[in-house]
Amino acid sequence: MARVKTGLENFVEAPPAWLSGHRLGLLCNHAAVDRNFGHARELINRQLPGQLKALYAPQHGFFADKQDNMIESDDMIDPVLDIPVYSLYGRTRIPDKTMFEPIDTLIVDLQDAGTRVYTFIYTMSYCLEAAQRFGKKVLVLDRPNPINGSMVEGNCLTAACASFVGRYPIPMRHGLTIGELAGLFNDEYGIGCDLEVIAMQGWNRAMYFTDTGLPWIAPSPNLPTPATAVVYPGQVLWEGTNVSEGRGTTQPFELFGAPYIDIKPILAVLEEGRLPGAVLRPAAFEPTSNKWARTLCQGFQIHITDPYKFKPYITTLKLIQAVRFHHRDRFEWKSGPYEYEFDRNPIDLIIGDKDIRKRLENFDDINDIEASWQSDLNAFIELSRKYHLYT
C-alpha cells in the first residue's frame, strides 16, 4: 500500500519560514489528524508554540457531533489549547471581522468528500473571501480526494441553483483535492486572496482513500467509511426526496428505502448490467432518526464491486427514476427548508439544475440526460487541469 503524506504532515515537518511571528488560525474539525492520529491543533501548537490563536469549525461542529443540515453549533473554548473555537455553521456561515481579528494567517485542514454538495468547501471559500477582505493570508494543507482525482461526473451547477451546497459551476463529482479547489475558487471566481497550498507527497489521481495508507476519520457523522464517500455523490440526491438515504442507520447513503417501496419491479428494471460496478442487495431497515424514523423501510444496500466502473451520480439518477416510475402515487420531492434555502426545491439545489429534475419527472432516458451536460463537463475538466498539483 502507498504511503501518502498529507499537507499537515509536510507542514509539521517543515513549517514555512515566513510564518515566524504570525498569529495563526486553523479551520478544521476532529478529522484533521496525521497517520498516528495526532490532531492538527496539537501538532501545530507543538511545532509553533503559542502562535495558534483561534480555531474555526465547519458544519457539524468541531467534533462533528451535529447530525444533519441546519443543526447549528455554537462558539466554544477548545478544551485542549484553551483558545476560542468560532463556529462557521451557527449564527453565521461567513466569518466576520471579529472572528479574524486574532490572526494573521488562516490554516485550512479539512477532509473533503469529493462532491459538490459537501459544505466544507464552501466554508473554505467564504474564508478565502474574508481573508481577502480583511488582509489575511490563507495556507491550505492538502488532503486526498477520497473518491480519486481522475473521475469527474455530473452536470455543472447553474447560477439559478446556487446555494450553500453549491456556490460555483462545478460538477457533482469534481475530481479535485481541497487544495486544488482552493486554487480554482480563488483564481477563477474572483476571490483573489493571498493563498498558498502545502501539497501531499505520494498521492496520485487514481487513488481512492483506501489506497493511501492513511486512517479514515469520518469528516461528518454520515460519512462513516471510505465506502460511504464513494456512493455519496449519487446517494445524496435522496435527501431531496421522501425516500430515506439511510440517515439514522449505521450505513447512511449505502442504504436507501421507504415503507412503500416494492423491491421486485425496481430490481427488474435495473437488472442486466444497468448499474456497472455495483450490486443492489435487497435490504430492510428501520431508521432511528430522520425520515421514516422507527418505521420499517424496504429498499437496498449498494455494494461497490468495481469502483472504477461505478458512476455514483448516474446510478442514483437511474434509481430515482425507477422508484418514481413504480411508485408515482407515493414518491415525492421533499419540501424545504434545505441548507437555509426556504423557497427553492431541495432537489434542485442538490442536482444543481432545475431542467434535470424536470427531465426526471418526464422519464427522459438517463443516458440522454447525461449526454446533455457533457460539453459543460468537458469544459470544466479542461479548466480544472490548470489547478492539478498531482499527476
69/210 Cα distance (integer angstroms): 27
Place of cell 488560525: 25
Averaged pLDDT for residues 369-388? 98
Residue 272 has a pLDDT of: 58
First to last CA, the chain: 18
Mention every residue, 6+ apart, whose C-beta is less than 8 A from residue 123: 27, 58, 59, 88, 89, 93, 110
Structure confidence at residue 273 as a pLDDT band (50, 70, 90) = low
* N residues, the chain: 391
Instruction: Show the CA angle centred on residue 150, arms to residues 9 and 218, nearest 5°.
Output: 50
User: Residue 133 corresponds to which amino acid?
Assistant: R
Label residue 268 by pLDDT band (50, 70, 90).
confident
For 297-346, write each residue's pLDDT tens digit: 999 999 999 999 999 999 999 999 999 999 999 999 999 899 989 899 99
Position 71 scores a pLDDT of 86
Beta-carbon neighbour count of residue 215 at 10 Å?
12
CB atoms within 10 A of CB 367: 10
Strands 105-109 and 24-28: parallel
Give per-residue pLDDT as tens, 75-120: 999 999 999 999 999 999 999 999 999 999 999 999 999 999 999 9
pTM of full prediction above 0.85 = yes
Handedness of CA 157, 141, 124, 92 (dihedral sign): positive
Kindly report the CA angle at 82 between 80 and 83, in degrees rounded to 5?
115
pLDDT digits 0-9 by tens, 59-73: 999 999 888 778 899
Identify the CA nearest to 217 among candidates 11, 1, 62, 12: 62
Q: What is the pLDDT of residue 274?
A: 78
pLDDT at 212 over 70: yes
pLDDT digits (tens, 9 = 90+) for 220-266: 999 999 999 999 999 999 999 999 999 999 999 999 999 999 999 99
Please provide residue 120's backbone torsions phi and psi, each rounded to the nearest 5 degrees.
-55, -40
